[in-house]
Structure 1
Amino acid sequence: MPGGRPRAFDADIALDRALEVFWRQGYEGTSLSDLTAAMGVNRPSLYAAFGNKEELFAKALDRYVSGPGAFAAEALIAPTIREVVRRLVEGAVELTTGAGGPGCLSVNSVHACGPDSATAREAAIACRRAAETALRRRFEQAPDLPPGCDPAVLARLVHTVTDGIAVQAASGRTRKELRQVADLALRTVLAELTDIPEPA
């Protein structure tokens, strides 16, 4: 017996379109009708290929991390801590002020999801924790980490800066404005990295 009828749509393209909708409208602001219209599929096809809305969001979040947000993982291979931090902060400005959002999908989802969307919110939180853990491990392995600098605190600091950039972008700040903020934040953070004293 032949197998089931092949899909009449490209799943990768459909997932990219779902990502665009979630990124632009947020999880709670996106309806199934919005998704099916953007993806060019009907609801049975959406469920068959991607699961329910929460499962589709989780897949879109993974797509975001490996696609538009890939700069974060790429920054970790920079040769120095200073360069890692610079690439992360500057990359956050470029990503969150682009045409896709604005803002950061994972940051927006953490703040904009209510109790009825707890699963989606937890997926976004897990995504963010994984990114911070990866950054902390990169700092822990760095030979140029100054004495007395706590890798976990430094990772948290960098993520606080990039989160702030994302929130400001979602509030309508321009790329020029956020580049000015990023420049000041980088000067402050990198100055601290130059000479951190031993803990008392």
Structure 2
Amino acid sequence: MARPREFDPDEAMDKAMGLFWDVGYEEASLTELLAAMEITKGSFYKAFQDKQSIYLASLDRYNDKVISGTVAYLGNPAEGSGRARILGLFAKVAQAVELDGDRLGCFLCNALIDKAAEGGEAEGKLQAMVHRLESAFYKALQDDGQLNARDARETARGVLSAYFGLRVLGRSGLSKEMAADCIRQVEWLLARGGRAGQTA
């Protein structure tokens, strides 16, 4: 009779991702990982090999669970125009901070400034996620048909920068007033991009 698994791999992965998200790769020691995941060292090495492999798996999990959801939202015409979807995403982030006290921010943002992102497979995964978000903003802008490809790309990159900024500010305790100011700047950026497209 086969022995039952000692732990739920998906649950353990979520807990590992939460630790990396909170403290970063360098600060997450093996002891802390084992405690967070609630597994033994033997089970850890049998299922995940080493700290680097579980960090890479955590990035994949964030990509699948969070980035994919954001990309799907931005690409869903049922949520309104491309502009409305973009502003809706910013409103969701601001609301999460205000109502839920979301101080984790964005795992992608945190990971991009982590030493683990300096070269190698981790950097490749992070850059791929950044590109997915940029492309999602770009496609949402293109859906409205007001911008040429160049202006849509430039505007998408400006919106992406503002999005990352909002997520980082959320981690530091974003005020309602600051969130509103940030969203107004995005509205201005979108309106400016639309005018540029009309005059091109």
Short-chain TM bin: 0.7 to 0.9
Structure number with higher helix proportion: 2
Change (3 A) 1:115 1:131: closer
Asked if 1 retains the 8 angstrom alpha-carbon contact of 2:15 and 2:36, the reply is yes
* 1:64 pairs with 2:70: no
Asked if 1 retains the 8 angstrom alpha-carbon contact of 2:93 and 2:167, the reply is yes
- Describe the SS at the equivalent of 1:158: helix
Instruction: State the aligned residue count.
Output: 194
CA distance in 1, matches of 2:55, 2:154: 30
Question: Which digits, 9 at most, give the CA deviation of each residue in 1:90-121, with x for residues without a partner?
Answer: 23334567556422111111112257775434
CA distance in 1, matches of 2:108, 2:97: 11
Question: Which digits, 9 at most, give the CA deviation of each residue in 1:52-87, with x for residues without a partner?
Answer: 222212222233234455344323213311112112
CA distance in 2, matches of 1:139, 1:183: 16
CA distance in 1, matches of 2:125, 2:51: 13
Q: 2:37 aligns with which of 36, 39, 44?
A: 39
Asked if 1 retains the 8 angstrom alpha-carbon contact of 2:15 and 2:37, the reply is yes
Question: Which digits, 9 at most, give the CA deviation of each residue in 1:14-39, with x for residues without a partner?
Answer: 11111111111112221111111010
CA distance in 1, matches of 2:66, 2:49: 23
Within-5 A mapping of 1:21-36 = 21-36=19-34
The normalised TM-score by structure 2 is: 0.80
Change (3 A) 1:79 1:50: farther
Q: Following TM superposition, by how much is the alpha carbon of 1:124 offset from its aligned partner in structure 2, in angstroms?
A: 2.0
Unaligned runs of 5+ residues in structure 1 are none
CA distance in 1, matches of 2:14, 2:117: 26
Asked if 1 retains the 8 angstrom alpha-carbon contact of 2:83 and 2:141, the reply is no
Within-5 A mapping of 1:78-117 = 78-94=79-95, 101-113=103-115
Match of 1:145 in 2: 145
**Moved >4 Å (runs of 4+):** 94-101, 114-118
CA distance in 1, matches of 2:103, 2:18: 8
- Of 12-21 and 111-120, more deviation after overlay is shown by 111-120
Unaligned runs of 5+ residues in structure 2 are none
- Of 172-181 and 80-89, more deviation after overlay is shown by 172-181
Asked if 2 retains the 8 angstrom alpha-carbon contact of 1:21 and 1:30, the reply is yes
Amino acid at match of 1:15: M
CA distance in 1, matches of 2:177, 2:24: 24
- Describe the SS at the equivalent of 2:124: helix
Q: CA RMSD in A?
A: 2.8
